[in-house]
C-alpha cells in the first residue's frame, strides 16, 4: 500500500527495559544490534532514560557559549548580556526539554552549574544587581 522502503543500516535498536534480557530483532533480514545510546533529532537517549549523556553534552555546549559571552562582557552592558544569554544559551537548553526534563535532579546538576555561571557573568557586569533570569524548571 505505502510502498515505503527502509534502510536497515540506518536503523538503530535501543532496548529500554528493566530486565537485562537481550533483545534480538530482525529488520529486512538484518539483525539489529542493540545500542547503548541513540540520537534522535538532537536528543541522546540511553537505555535507562537518564539522559545523562545528553545533559552533559548540553552543558559542554552551553559552557562554550558562556565563555564567548564572558569575553564580550567588557563590550556589552548587563541587559545586552542577558539578551545574548537568553538567545544563545537558553534556547539550546530549552530544546526538547519535554523529553529529558523529567529526569532526576542529580542528572540535571550540570545544567544548574551552567546557569549559576551565567548569573555570575551577567551580575559581575551589573554592579551587583541580580539579573532577571528564570531558573530551569525541574
**pTM score, two decimals?**
0.79
For 96, residues 6+ apart whose C-beta sits below 8 A from its C-beta are: 41, 42, 43
**Band of the pLDDT at 11, cuts 50, 70, 90?**
confident
What does the pLDDT look like over 85-129, one tens digit per residue?
999 999 999 998 888 888 888 889 999 999 999 999 888 765 555
What does the pLDDT look like over 24-81, one tens digit per residue?
888 888 888 888 899 999 999 998 899 999 999 999 999 999 999 999 988 988 889 9
Choose among 59, 35, 55: nearest CA to 43: 55
Would you list the DSSP string of 33-67? PBPSEEEETTEEEETT---HHHHHHHHHHHHHHHH
Is there a contact between 66 and 110 (Cβ–Cβ < 8 Å)? no
Residue 18 has pLDDT above 80, yes or no: no
Amino acid at each position: 500500500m505505502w510502498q515505503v522502503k527502509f534502510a536497515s543500516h540506518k536503523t538503530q535498536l535501543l532496548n529500554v527495559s528493566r530486565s537485562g534480557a537481550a533483545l534480538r530483532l530482525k529488520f529486512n533480514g538484518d539483525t539489529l544490534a542493540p545500542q547503548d545510546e541513540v540520537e534522535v533529532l538532537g536528543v541522546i537517549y540511553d537505555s535507562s532514560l537518564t539522559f545523562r549523556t545528553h545533559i552533559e553534552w548540553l552543558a559542554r555546549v552551553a559552557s562554550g557559549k558562556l565563555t564567548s559571552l564572558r569575553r564580550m562582557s567588557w563590550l556589552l552592558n548587563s541587559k545586552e548580556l542577558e539578551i545574548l544569554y537568553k538567545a544563545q544559551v537558553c534556547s539550546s537548553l530549552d530544546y526538547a526539554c519535554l523529553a529529558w526534563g523529567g529526569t532526576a535532579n542529580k542528572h540535571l546538576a550540570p545544567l544548574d552549574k551552567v546557569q549559576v555561571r551565567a548569573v555570575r557573568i551577567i551580575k559581575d557586569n551589573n554592579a551587583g544587581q541580580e539579573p532577571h533570569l528564570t531558573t530551569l524548571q525541574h
